């Protein structure tokens, strides 16, 4: 909303309670109606398919403001911020420590496009590892830019020479019932001074926020 305002526009924040979707209106109807009023929609939701459905029936641009699968605007801003520290990002190492979630996915995509070497350190169980199709796509992007994507389980030397060390919460929004199980699964996946001691001297630490200190 702040960004749109600074650019001379007006942003409307519509929560589920402000929309007919909140009482079960099909997404396609909301898409058709809002397309007549607005110049674009940023949607922040859980199910990625809802964004696809909205984009299919809207005839204005649809921007993904967060789904369980991807968080592209966050990573676009992260790349902009990272570039302000390091200039050209080609060849720089970005390490993400934690859940192989929406953040891991979008960082792989963004890092690959910038020619970065992206390393995801996460537990080996399928539910904590990144989506295989996303990894495959990001690897293909990285091959074109000279970057690379790798997924590792161990964190011992993972930050070695890293320029960017990134992490996220262990239980994303909507995963409240898994908090205890995840706290155990991710116990070894902390960004702490030990992990950072191997990073490049000018390394930066990033977090999409909200951060849970102690994790």
List, as one string, the DSSP characters of 122-164: --SSGGGSPPHHHHHHHHHHHHHHT-EEEEES--TTTTTT-SE
- Pick 34 or 169: Cβ nearer ligand NVA: 169
Q: Is 104 in the site for ligand NVA (CB under 6 A)?
A: no
Q: Is 103 in the site for ligand NVA (CB under 6 A)?
A: yes
From the list 9-17, 28-36, 122-130, 167-175, the region that binds ligand NVA by CB under 6 A is 167-175
Among 30, 102, 106, 155, binds ligand NVA (CB under 6 A): 102
- Pick 101 or 131: Cβ nearer ligand NVA: 101
Residue 117 DSSP SS3? strand
Q: Rounded CA gap, 118 and 156, in Å?
A: 16
Minimal CB distance to ligand NVA: which residue? 172
Residue 160 CB, shortest distance to ligand NVA, in Å, is 25
CA atoms within 13 A on the CB side of 185: 21
Q: Is 64 in the site for ligand NVA (CB under 6 A)?
A: no
Q: Which residue's entry shows tokens 């951060």?
A: 211
Q: Is 131 in the site for ligand NVA (CB under 6 A)?
A: no
Looking at residues 15 to 44 of the shown chain, list those that interact with ligand NVA (rule: CB under 6 A): none
Alpha helices per DSSP H over 38-131: 48-57, 72-86, 102-113
Q: Kindly report the number of other CB atoms within 10 A of residue 3's CB atom.
A: 11
Name the residues that contact ligand NVA, by CB under 6 A: 71, 101-103, 168-169, 172-173, 208
């Amino acid at each position: 909303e702040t960004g749109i305002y600074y650019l001379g526009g007006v942003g409307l924040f519509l929560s589920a309670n402000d929309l007919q979707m909140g009482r079960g209106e099909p997404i396609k109807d909301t898409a058709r109606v809002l397309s007549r009023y607005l110049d674009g929609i940023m949607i922040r939701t859980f199910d990625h398919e809802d964004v696809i459905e909205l984009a299919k029936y809207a005839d204005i641009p649809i921007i993904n403001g967060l789904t369980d699968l991807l968080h592209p605007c966050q990573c676009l801003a992260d790349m902009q911020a990272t570039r302000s520290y390091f200039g050209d990002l080609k060849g720089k190492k970005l390490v993400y420590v934690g859940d192989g979630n929406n953040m891991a996915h979008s960082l792989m995509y963004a890092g690959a496009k910038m020619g970065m070497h992206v390393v995801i350190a996460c537990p080996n169980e399928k539910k904590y590892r990144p989506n295989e199709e996303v990894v495959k796509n990001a690897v293909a992007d990285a091959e074109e830019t000279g970057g690379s994507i790798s997924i590792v389980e161990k964190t011992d030397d993972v930050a070695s020479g890293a320029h960017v060390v990134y992490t996220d919460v262990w239980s994303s929004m909507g995963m409240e019932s898994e908090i205890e199980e995840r706290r155990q699964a991710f116990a070894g996946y902390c960004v702490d001074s030990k992990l950072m001691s191997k990073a490049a001297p000018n390394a930066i630490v990033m977090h999409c926020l909200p951060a849970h200190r102690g994790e």
